[in-house]
Amino acid sequence: METKPVHFKNVSREESFGYDRKTLDYIRNAAAHGLYEIRGMGAKRKLPNFDDLVFLGASMSRYPLEGYREKCVTKTLLGTRFAKKPIELDIPITIAGMSFGSLSANVKEALGRAATEMGTSTTTGDGGMTPEERQSSKTLIYQCLPSRYGFNPDDVRRADAIEVVIGQGAKPGGGGMLLGQKVSPRVARMRTLPEGIDQRSACRHPDWTGPDDLAIKIQELREITDWEKPIYVKVGATRTFHDVKLAVHSGADVIVVDGMQGGTAATQTCFIEHIGIPTLAAVRQAVNALEDLDMIGKVQLVVSGGIRTGADVAKALAMGADAVAIGQGVLVALGCNGETYYQNGALHSAEADYTAIGAAAGFCHHCHTGKCPVGITTQDAILEQRLSPDVGAKHLRNYLKTLNMELTTIARACGKQNVHHLEREDLVALTIEAAAMAGLPLAGTNWIPGQGF
Ligand code: SF4
């Protein structure tokens, strides 16, 4: 007897988990173009993060501080191990390295102005130091990247600290990328590259293949700067426990750990979403490494990758960071993904410009195109006018101020007179995953999953 196929009404329309519409689109695009996707910003997938932790505020067993009458210190010292002139900051919230090229010169100036007003540091990026950012930044960290574009000893001496970049959280093991549409005449001159041609930076430093060579490089940088400037080493979070130990052995004063939520101006999506470990896991590994070497308080730890709020800052500090660095949050404060931009005293809609690049406010990750609708990640002479240094600096200052107020509010609620007194004992985790990664007890229990790491 012949049987006819039966289609159950709702089940036949069920979306596949493994081959959902996003995956189908990905495969169709790959089949149509034979190319991988390149985009900006950070991981979009849901990852365990600082939202999965909460503070145990003071109650009977702890004594809270009065918010309006009792001080809470935020001063932060970085680079106390070997440098004659450590970095002194008013707040433990710094601006992460972002290049001129990925950002406009106006934005670099705005970052410097806001950081200076708030008593914190900003950082260069691939492609060297611009006069605008040096002039506007009281404390400027100068990055030494694998590409060495625009890197020179004069700027090393002009900087306040040097950051040797081994890797970035958005793309550990990968190099920088600046697509041709952003390689303007000025960017090309600074990087000694041809105009308008895609630039792909090296993924590793040309003159070292391991920690011993890094130690020599750090020694060279110290001699160029007469042992005055702190040397930071920045790693993308992967094997963080071992990487931090090796960076300490190589002579770093400060370690910067950038988790996989960290952003980028451009890289392959497969890097952003599939390489690296979440910041939450990386902080714990970094702190464990410093503890193992008895280097807590001697080598400082800066954490970046998905720090957005004052609560995130407080949690990073409680887990053992000395400071945080922020990139994407800073861009959002400047107007990234906003519906409007402010120019010539009036608000203008950016909707048509988002549509033109296939994006929309709130969903944009198109920094690589150079056509940023709000004038942040662009070298276009017309678009970059959409964000003036004045307006950018004002918004960024407000954002940093808010984060710092939230940080001190939380610290006081935990009974701390100094934000650096926040400690792991102040935190618990809300999920088993976060508890295991952060090495903290699950809320309401003494259970730390995976204890014995
Ligand atoms: S709005 Fe500009 S800075 Fe923000 S994601 Fe889009 S292109 Fe990048």
pLDDT of residue 384: 96
- Quote the ligand 1 centre to 360 CA distance (angstroms): 10
26 to 22, 32, 137: CA distances (angstroms): 6, 10, 42
Atom 8 (ligand 1) nearest CA:
367
Which residue is listed with tokens 């990758």? 305
Q: What is the pTM of this model?
A: 0.95
Q: Which residue has the tokens 């540091």?
A: 121
140: which 2 tokens?
């400027």
> Per-residue DSSP letters for 35-89?
---EE-S---S----GGGEEE---SSSS-PPPTTTS--B--EEE--SS-SS-EEE
Q: Please report, in tens digits, the pLDDT of each residue of the chain (453 residues total).
A: 667 777 666 666 789 999 999 999 999 999 999 999 999 999 999 999 999 999 999 988 889 998 888 999 999 999 999 999 999 999 999 999 999 999 999 999 999 999 999 999 999 999 899 998 999 999 999 999 998 888 999 999 999 999 999 999 999 999 888 999 999 999 999 998 999 999 888 899 988 888 899 999 999 999 999 999 999 999 999 999 999 999 999 999 999 999 999 999 999 999 999 999 999 999 999 999 999 999 999 999 999 999 999 999 999 999 999 999 999 999 999 999 999 999 988 999 999 999 999 999 999 999 999 999 999 999 999 999 999 999 999 999 999 999 999 999 999 999 999 999 999 999 999 999 999 999 999 999 999 998 854
Query: Considering only CA atoms, which residue is closest to atom 5 of ligand 1?
Result: 365
The finding on whether 374 has its CB within 6 A of some atom of ligand 1 is: yes
For the record, the structure tokens of 278 come out as 């979440």
Contact 443, 56 (CB under 8 A): no
- Whose alpha carbon is nearest atom 2 of ligand 1? 372
Distance 293 CA to ligand 1 centre (A): 41
In short, whether 383's Cβ falls inside 6 Å of ligand 1 is no
- For position 67, what pLDDT does the model report? 82
Residue 326 — φ and ψ, nearest 5°? -125, 135
What pLDDT, on a 0 to 100 scale, did the predictor assign at position 8? 66
How much is the pLDDT for 11? 66
Q: What is the pLDDT of residue 2?
A: 66
pLDDT of residue 22: 93
Alpha helices for 119-170 (secondary structure H): 131-136, 153-158
Tracing tokens 């406009």 back to the chain, one arrives at 104
pLDDT of residue 13: 74
Residues forming a β-bridge with 267: 39
How far is it, in rounded angstroms, from Cα 122 to Cα 227? 21
Hunting for tokens 């958005």 — which residue is that?
A: 170
Range list of H helices, 119-150: 131-136
Show the domains of the chain with their CATH numbers.
50-334+402-422 (3.20.20.70)
pLDDT at 233: 98
Regarding the beta carbon of 251 and ligand 1, being less than 6 Å apart is answered no
| Ligand 1 pocket check for 41: Cβ under 6 Å | yes
Among residues 395, 263, 290, the alpha carbon closest in space to that of 338 is found at 395
Confirm or reject: Cβ of 364 under 6 Å from ligand 1: yes
The pLDDT of residue 451 is 81
Contact 397, 118 (CB under 8 A): yes
**What's the confidence (pLDDT) of residue 141?**
98
List alpha helices for 225-266, DSSP H: 240-249
Using the atom order of ligand 1, give the atom closest to the CA of residue 366: 7
